[in-house]
Chain A
Amino acid sequence: EAGVAQSPRYKIIEKRQSVAFWCNPISGHATLYWYQQILGQGPKLLIQFQNNGVVDDSQLPKDRFSAERLKGVDSTLKIQPAKLEDSAVYLCASSSLRVGLNYGYTFGSGTRLTVV
């Protein structure tokens, strides 16, 4: 099966600019996640969708970050305005609820964001 697709792979922006990332999960995966991974740290959950509804966005800095998953398939994550500390890799992951407990997340290759 095709993996989780993310674009772009790399992005360099100046602080206070805006940026958007796109993710297309594995077909049929109901749950989609956005994680932020700062260099040298573990992935930090930003938002979790189930179909097109938000399950958890408690760690999303809502004053500057927004995410949507229209039609329960692909998703976009936006940052506006960006700060220097937003420099990180943004990982999208999806998982299937149907198979229950034996499958973990499938991650995309990520978008490496550098804010200068």
Chain B
Amino acid sequence: GQQVMQIPQYQHVQEGEDFTTYCNSSTTLSNIQWYKQRPGGHPVFLIQLVKSGEVKKQKRLTFQFGEAKKNSSLHITATQTTDVGTYFCAGSKTSGTYKYIFGTGTRLKVLA
């Protein structure tokens, strides 16, 4: 079945350093979403990418969808303590089904 893996599993950074998490799917995706889950909280939707090679930015966050639509990345510039949490990608194999398989997640800790 479809699998979505993320690396790294954990990342500790000093505040102000950059952070990147990578998401890889075993199958070609129709689109991919990114979520952030704060400790003790529930996943919160960040963004959706649809087109091959698409790049979207939200303030210090940059999201990319690979050309082959099998991988994606989230890059945070100059991390802040508010960025702490687990970042999940979620991929949909088929357009219009609204069924997303979540990745394994990357837990980010930011040291002040």
Residue in chain A with minimal CB distance to B95: A101
How far, in whole Å, are A105 and B42 apart by their CA atoms in the complex?
11
Which of A37-45, A62-70, A73-81 contacts its partner?
A37-45
A107 touches B44 (CB 8 A): yes
Say whether, besides A41-B105, A101-B50, A107 and B42 are in contact (CB < 8 Å): yes
Q: Mark A34-69, 1 if CB is under 8 A from B, else 0.
A: 010000011111001000000110000000000000
A42 touches B44 (CB 8 A): no
Chain A residues contacting B44 (CB-CB under 8 Å) are 107
Chain B residues contacting A105 (CB-CB under 8 Å) are 33, 35, 43, 45, 100
- The size of the chain A interface, using a CB distance under 8 A, is 23
Verify if B72 is at the interface (C-beta below 8 Å from A): no
Chain B residues contacting A31 (CB-CB under 8 Å) are 98
A48 touches B48 (CB 8 A): no
Verify if B22 is at the interface (C-beta below 8 Å from A): no
How far, in whole Å, are A99 and B47 apart by their CA atoms in the complex?
14
A43 touches B88 (CB 8 A): yes
How far, in whole Å, are A31 and B41 apart by their CA atoms in the complex?
22
Residue in chain B with minimal CB distance to A102: B48
Q: Mark A89-114, 1 if CB is under 8 A from B, else 0.
A: 00100010100011111111110000
B48 touches A42 (CB 8 A): no
B45 touches A104 (CB 8 A): yes
Chain A residues contacting B47 (CB-CB under 8 Å) are 104
Say whether, besides A42-B88, A101-B48, A104-B35, A109 and B42 are in contact (CB < 8 Å): yes
Residue in chain A with minimal CB distance to B101: A45
Q: Please pick, from A44, A104, A110, the residue contacting B48 in the complex, using a CB distance under 8 A.
A: A104
User: What residues make up the interface of A, taking CB atoms closer than 8 Å to B?
Assistant: 31, 35, 41-45, 48, 55-56, 91, 95, 97, 101-110
